[in-house]
């Protein structure tokens, strides 16, 4: 499969940060690591809608052990480009996680505020274990110290879209990640 360029889209939106092949290769590695680490255990993957669904689906397909999946949904109040606002749960889990091994799967971790909120919420439900897997880790923006167990890629303080990540609910369907200038996208 050949990688597309961002120029395939109406108007060039930015430069490719991670190709489809680079992403898929790393997701396959993560799936193998997680499968090895959780072999023989009752594992549930939990993600926050909507951005994580593409990464989580690919990660799930890369795993070779039985696993269940569930989702949360959140609403944020306050500054939108920074996660300093108040976080509120708008969709809870359908599955019970008490006594089960939980792997919280995230598309990108920046400040750590949302991840801390979710991990606290999950740990109150008394899982056997609760760990974190993220596709993208942006440590330069970290305000809250978060232990990350599985990291796809460490990245600089870039704004990226594609592979589930969006700008104004657009560009999630790009199969790669594109570095963009949010101010440029506002003008489109």
Residues catalogued as catalytic: 110
The answer for residues whose C-beta is within 8 angstroms of residue 146's C-beta and 6 or more apart is 109, 112, 115, 116, 119, 132
Cα–Cα dist 74/80, whole Å: 13
The residue among 72, 169, 172 whose CA lies nearest residue 115 is 72
Task: Report in angstroms the alpha-carbon separations of 6 from 11, 12, 13, 14, 166.
Answer: 8, 6, 6, 6, 14
């Amino acid at each position: 499969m050949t990688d597309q360029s961002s120029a395939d889209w109406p108007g060039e939106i930015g430069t490719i940060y991670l190709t489809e092949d680079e992403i898929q290769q790393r997701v396959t590695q993560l799936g193998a690591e997680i499968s090895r680490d959780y072999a023989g255990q009752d594992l549930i993957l939990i993600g926050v809608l909507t951005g994580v669904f593409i990464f989580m689906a690919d990660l799930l397909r890369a795993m070779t052990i039985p696993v269940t999946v569930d989702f949360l949904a959140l609403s944020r109040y306050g500054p939108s480009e920074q996660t300093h606002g108040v976080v509120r749960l708008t969709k809870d889990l359908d599955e019970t996680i008490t006594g089960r091994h939980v792997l919280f799967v995230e598309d990108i971790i920046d400040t750590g505020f949302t991840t801390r909120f979710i991990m606290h919420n999950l740990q109150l439900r008394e899982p056997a274990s609760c760990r974190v897997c993220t596709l993208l880790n942006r440590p330069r923006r970290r305000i809250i110290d978060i232990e990350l167990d599985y990291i796809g890629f460490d990245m600089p303080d870039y704004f990226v879209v594609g592979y589930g990540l969006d700008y104004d609910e657009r560009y999630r369907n790009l199969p790669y990640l594109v570095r963009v200038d949010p101010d440029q996208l506002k003008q489109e």
